[in-house]
Amino acid sequence: DVKVTQSSRYLVKRTGEKVFLECVQDMDHENMFWYRQDPGLGLRLIYFSYDVKMKEKGDIPEGYSVSREKKERFSLILESASTNQTSMYLCASSFSGTGEETQYFGPGTRLLVL
């Protein structure tokens, strides 16, 4: 079974703090994604990566950065957390090149910024 794990299920941070969210997948997937999910807005893509050290901006990259130093690990960084970044963060991974990639999701990290 594909397993995508996220470092924390719940996280509480203060405004201005630097926040690291980590995601690890064990299926040798090329692609990895970070989404945020807010009520009524569905999933919005923040960043994705199709290879080690490669990254592409999604729909809402402002205020976020990412790092992919190893194929299995994709980190989302909030440089200076703000209250409007309170959200559910979902990581996903998929194979590349088939044209029918299924995304496998982690359990999510619910972040509260005070």
Partner 1 sequence: SQQGEEDPQALSIQEGENATMNCSYKTSINNLQWYRQNSGRGLVHLILIRSNEREKHSGRLRVTLDTSKKSSSLLITASRAADTASYFCATDQGNYGQNFVFGPGTRLSVLP
Q: Determine, following the binding rule CB under 8 A, whether residue 96 of this chain makes contact with partner 1.
A: yes
Distance separating alpha carbons of residues 69 and 51, to the nearest angstrom: 9
* Least spacing, CB of residue 92 vs partner 1, in Å: 8
Helix, strand or coil for residue 102?
A: coil
Q: Determine, following the binding rule CB under 8 A, whether residue 43 of this chain makes contact with partner 1.
A: yes
Find the part of the chain contacting partner 1 (CB under 8 A) among 14-22, 63-71, 77-85, 102-110. 102-110
Q: For residues 74-93, which are near partner 1 according to CB under 8 A?
A: 88, 90, 92
Q: Determine, following the binding rule CB under 8 A, whether residue 58 of this chain makes contact with partner 1.
A: yes
Q: How far apart are the first and last CA of the chain?
A: 37
Binding partner 1 (rule: CB under 8 A), the pick from 35, 76, 81, 85 is 35
Distance separating alpha carbons of residues 8 and 111, to the nearest angstrom: 9
In DSSP notation, 42-108 reads EEEEEEEESSTT--EE-S--TTEEEEEEETTEEEEEESS--GGG-EEEEEEEE--SSS-PPPEE---
* Least spacing, CB of residue 14 vs partner 1, in Å: 23
- Contact positions toward partner 1, by CB under 8 A? 4, 30-31, 33, 35, 40-43, 45, 48, 50, 56, 58-59, 88, 90, 92, 94, 96, 99-108, 110
